[in-house]
Structure 1
Amino acid sequence: MEWFSQNGFEVRLEWGLSAVEYLASEADCAVIVDVMSFSTCVSLAVDNGARIYPYPWKDQSALEYGMRIGANTASFDRRFSGTGYSLSPASIRSIRAGESLVLPSPNGSAISFRARDSGISVFSGCFRNMTATAKACREFKRILVIPCGERWPDNSLRPSIEDYAAAGGIIAALDRYNISPEAHAAVAAYQYHKQHSLSLLHQCSSAMELRQRGFEEDITLCLDAEVSEMECLLHGDFYGSGQG
């Protein structure tokens, strides 16, 4: 056991891609939490009966991948005009049952696939489906919750409070006693923001970024709590409901 593993605790929490690389080998499932906006997009699509194919690169290869599997590919530009989808949750609300969508997202997608490749079950969670996600994870003994965070301009990890609080909400809903100190701290963050109806999170750095770019509606969708009863499970290459 390494000093960073949080081994001995049933529920662990650590940030970003490094969490997978260093902790996933000693977990039975992982929950990827990327509130603004990957995990929210996944939840909205799964609620509508669609499949989301995560893709880690925003380039021509995403379009080629979509053509190869017979799926649409979301626009790389959140502000695109016309019909179709992007990483804007508002654009995903209209997705139809049975549709398949490639969602290029260097953060949430890359972490999802790295966790999958470690051989464990992988869920995507957000404020929308905290309790549903926790219920789906209760059959697993060792649970790793991964707030993805955002990126600074130099591409280093920027821990984000919205991912941390949503991760804490999922951990609280697990109702486990044996959780790591890192997981306990996230629960405390969630409970504090829950007392304020998540209103303070509308002013967090990630929300301010979306607001400055003109995506106020996305902020509301991302901070809409406990409105979905559907867990989002990674079935090989795509996210769908627990039933597929």
Structure 2
Amino acid sequence: MTLPGHDQSRSRVRMEWGPTGATAVPADYAVVVDVLSFTTTLSVALERGIEVFPFRWRDARAAEHAMRHGATLAVGRFEALSRGNARHVSLSPASLAEVEGIERLVLPSPNGSTIAFALADTGAQVVGACLRNAGAVARWLAPRVADGASVVVVPAGERWYDDTLRPAVEDLWGAGAVLDALGHDDEVASPEARMAAAAWRAVQLPDDLLTCASGVELAEAGFVADVEIAGQRDVSEVVPVLVGESFRDATELRPTGPTLRRVRD
């Protein structure tokens, strides 16, 4: 349930946090941002021509989902590390850097996948963004916004031990990178969206990503390469679009892209 005024409907370009925010702020297009690491891994996979099936759960259901779609199942970072085999494909973006022979990948991510499907359930066309492809996503969205479409950008955040939302600054930067590249003024962008864009303009990459809480956590666990890959700015032209159960690059879809579906403002 959205409280009056919280849907940001006075603005066509919007920003709200996490799974609850994903359902509270409806829009025609919805961008999920999970820099460390769901949407970064997603962008790397699509760059390599891999169709990605996000999945909400990391249990036996994920394996069944992979079998149903004839896909490879990505394992968790720490699971791959414990197996001592670098060839395991995991949620680590670095694990996909040199992968060969994979056409379909099931990516279990309780946070990013849950948000993506929650956004889709609102009727929005869902897009995945990170620092690597923020510019490409903004360029894809720009003509749609110019034609009157609304957009909400949703930084995923992380979870505290009590399962409450931890707003993760790296996701705020990723959201801000998309919003800043869209470049809309006060009449179009909500205060929340403009705040995210301002946060992005203040960031210093790669140092801030390596020294923020999430970056330090991953680096100390042995995943500094993932942080470095996530910190690469606008190196990718892929625009991941959720079509049914999978993400595909928008450039591989029909030239007109997904049909605009108006949702309530």
Do residues 23 (structure 1) and 25 (structure 2) align? Answer: yes
User: Which residue pairs with 1:113 in the alignment?
Assistant: 117
Moved more, 93-102 or 65-74: 93-102
How far does residue 113 in structure 1 lie from its aligned partner after superposition?
0.8
CA-to-aligned-CA distance 1:210-239 (integer Å, 9 cap, x gap): 012111101101111110011111111111
Q: What is the TM-score normalised by the length of structure 1?
A: 0.94
Do residues 180 (structure 1) and 195 (structure 2) align? Answer: no
User: Which residue pairs with 1:7 in the alignment?
Assistant: 9
Unmatched tracts of structure 2, length 5 or more: 254-265
Structure 2 CA distance, aligned partners of 1:169 and 1:197?
12
User: Which residue pairs with 1:81 in the alignment?
Assistant: 84
Structure 2 CA distance, aligned partners of 1:81 and 1:168?
37
User: In the alignment, residue 25 of structure 2 is paired with which amino acid?
Assistant: L
Identity %: 38
User: In the alignment, residue 48 of structure 1 is paired with which amino acid?
Assistant: R
CA-to-aligned-CA distance 1:154-209 (integer Å, 9 cap, x gap): 1111001100011001001112221011111111110011xx33422210010011
Unmatched tracts of structure 1, length 5 or more: none
Moved more, 93-102 or 210-219: 93-102
Structure 2 CA distance, aligned partners of 1:208 and 1:98?
31
Do residues 34 (structure 1) and 25 (structure 2) align? Answer: no
Q: For 1:127, what is the secondary structure of its paired residue? A: coil
Residues 30 and 151 in structure 2, CA contact (< 8 A), matched pair in contact too: yes
User: Which residue pairs with 1:190 in the alignment?
Assistant: 200
Structure 1 CA distance, aligned partners of 2:156 and 2:107?
16
User: In the alignment, residue 189 of structure 1 is paired with which amino acid?
Assistant: A
CA-to-aligned-CA distance 1:73-129 (integer Å, 9 cap, x gap): 011325243323111111022234761000000000010011112211000000000
> Cα gap change, 1:95/1:235 in structure 2, threshold over 3 Å: closer, same or farther?
farther
Runs of 4+ in 1 over 3 A off after TM superposition: 95-98
Q: What is the TM-score normalised by the length of structure 2?
A: 0.87
How far does residue 69 in structure 1 lie from its aligned partner after superposition?
1.1
User: Which residue pairs with 1:51 in the alignment?
Assistant: 51
Do residues 167 (structure 1) and 171 (structure 2) align? Answer: no
Do residues 156 (structure 1) and 164 (structure 2) align? Answer: yes
User: In the alignment, residue 55 of structure 1 is paired with which amino acid?
Assistant: F
User: In the alignment, residue 183 of structure 1 is paired with which amino acid?
Assistant: A
- Kindly report the root-mean-square deviation, in angstroms, between the aligned alpha carbons of the 2 structures: 1.4
CA-to-aligned-CA distance 1:12-36 (integer Å, 9 cap, x gap): 1000011122112xx1010000000
Structure 2 CA distance, aligned partners of 1:158 and 1:135?
29
